[in-house]
Structure 1
């Protein structure tokens, strides 16, 4: 039983979450490293948060608008790193919630991870009534497009779909501990922590990484009809006729399931976009989120 870690977590999150995180390897790794480096974990995780700009943010060309939003809303980028995302990172990040994700959502998320690399930012803000991760998550906006409001980051970047929400942030300081170890190995994590401690504005570094990502990953659209037409074109080239109900939600969903079952080679981005509109996102969910 790690009592020092339990005591630390009790100051950072809810009792239920603290109990679970005390046994989490990722949390343990970051907490132990901060202690070795002489960094106050409570202070660090209250004053900093993380921002993951997912592949959908890259192809939507949403990185630079995000950097502008951060500046305009009192957040400063103090570290930036490019990462290669994969299915394991996805499962680590959403481990405590992924059990309710539908099989279709997991499949789409895995496809999304393969579109391009991602950008992770460490952000700092001046002291406030709430910890920075909490303030940032509230300012970011909801996952559900219908709940986003003007002024929020996700509202600014575009109300695309429940799955294609472009960005992710930790909910509270305990999540900052956990996600630092998910994104970065010990060596890189030490450098990131040191940079964050210096506190210099590294927006220009983040913008340069964005330019590199843009150069490697073409811009893509989020239109449902365009995605369907691209998939139908792929199938037509394989000699497969479009089903008569392909443009309906049920028909599109059936089309994707059939293509997966038959191992059809379809444009991954179009599958992601169409699937995000017509497939269930949660286990047992019959309706889709548009």
Structure 2
């Protein structure tokens, strides 16, 4: 794989035999030829997730992007299933706990997501920064404590490391691969032609956002709001109420005990209530385990090369 698509030599090696990437790259190159590198460089992939849908954050996200000069070139709905969840994070989730994987299966499949292909505002990035890395930078951390004012996740109100509203591709290689996950061959061809023509799909994205939000009941996904709703269904003080209080005060991480006790008490929790408790209380990563693919910000021994730069020696 060309170093213009990914910094990490490890990622390039793995993706070169990854069928999601290979199928998608072959489709892009067939349509765009040598401009395939330029298309992958100047576009970013974003997925507005189900928590953004039920919290009514889609239109706000589109407005944030538009104000900052990001232009939607292609938009479509996509229902993420458990297989797609594993595909998206295949090379990072060797570090994920079972709780984290199960929670992602539950909330990522709760509603359709909104897939966006975005043209970067050229003045916002340096010549050596791809559109994907520019969006990653302004999107903000998945950890709410590390989000900064003005970043997309901060503005939308990320709740925890999983209910963080938006996913984006780290690098051009990830953009190509994630298009391969979300789109059939016919859909990829239409998408890449749209990118090659530099289409405008802002109105289409807005229409899809309104439709998605109108199909779903608004849900308060805060831990405090969720605990209050569950407590409101209790008719008398119980062990469940005490556990909910401990969860709210940060004194317990046993979300499975809360769910099991609610089931035994005849007060089964909704899917989103399980998600909020699980994602708020779980331990996300295994200790002393590193991801198969390093963080995109970590340089490999082979430096990246971008369109217009000289070939490596």
| TM-score (normalizing by structure 1) | 0.87
The answer for the alignment partner of 2:278 in structure 1 is 275
The answer for the alignment partner of 1:73 in structure 2 is 68
How many Å separate the matches in 2 of 1:76 and 1:150? Answer: 22
The answer for the alignment partner of 1:11 in structure 2 is 4
**1:113 maps onto 2:126 in alignment:** no
Residues 262, 244 of structure 1: alpha-carbon distance in 2 compared, 3 angstrom cutoff: closer
| Pairwise CA distance, 1:257 | 3.6
1:98-135 Cα shifts (integer Å, max 9, x gaps): 11111111111111023211100000024442111111
| Pairwise CA distance, 1:263 | 6.7
Residues 215, 252 of structure 1: alpha-carbon distance in 2 compared, 3 angstrom cutoff: farther
How many Å separate the matches in 2 of 1:197 and 1:37? Answer: 8
**1:90 maps onto 2:85 in alignment:** yes
Residues 257, 283 of structure 1: alpha-carbon distance in 2 compared, 3 angstrom cutoff: farther
How many Å separate the matches in 1 of 2:255 and 2:67? Answer: 44
1:210-256 Cα shifts (integer Å, max 9, x gaps): 1111111111112212212434566x58xx75253431137654353
Q: Tell me, yes or no, if the aligned pair for 1:55 and 1:117 is still in contact at 8 Å.
A: yes
1:113-163 Cα shifts (integer Å, max 9, x gaps): 232111000000244421111111101111111111111100110131111
**1:175 maps onto 2:180 in alignment:** no
Which is further off, 223-232 or 153-162? 223-232
| TM-score (normalizing by structure 2) | 0.81
Map of 1:114-153 to 2, 5 A cutoff?
114-127=109-122, 128=125, 129=127, 130-153=129-152
Helix, strand or coil for the counterpart of 2:28?
Answer: helix
Aligned length in residues: 276
Q: Tell me, yes or no, if the aligned pair for 2:263 and 2:269 is still in contact at 8 Å.
A: no
The answer for the alignment partner of 1:104 in structure 2 is 99
